[in-house]
């Protein structure tokens, strides 16, 4: 393949990738909002159960939402 064809193929792939990202962007934003809400709820629950705010924050930092706990058991 010559350089012009390689550049053209790279440009086409980049444009297709950008189109795909634009298509899924609203879903990504919704997912981020949901994850943020889950993390906030988890943090609040930890605090209500007696963890200090710094402890709850460390747990969130280490374990995220905790949703993947069951998934890891299947591995």
pLDDT given at position 63: 84
**For tokens 């988890």, what's the residue?**
42
Q: What is the pLDDT of residues 11-68, one digit of tens each?
A: 999 999 999 999 999 999 999 999 999 999 999 999 999 999 999 999 998 887 766 6
| pLDDT exceeds cutoff 70 at 1 | no
CA 72 – CA 64 distance, rounded (Å): 13
Buried b (16+ CB within 10 A) or exposed e, 7-35: eeeeeeeeeeeeeeeeeeeeeeeeeeeee
Structure-model confidence comparison of residues 70 and 3, the more confident one:
3
């Amino acid at each position: 393949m010559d350089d012009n064809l390689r550049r053209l193929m790279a440009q086409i792939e980049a444009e297709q990738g950008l189109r795909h990202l634009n298509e899924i962007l609203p879903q990504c934003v919704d997912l981020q909002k949901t994850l943020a809400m889950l993390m906030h709820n988890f943090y609040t629950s930890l605090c209500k159960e007696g963890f200090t705010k710094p402890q709850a924050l460390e747990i969130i930092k280490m374990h995220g939402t905790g949703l993947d706990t069951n998934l890891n058991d299947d591995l």
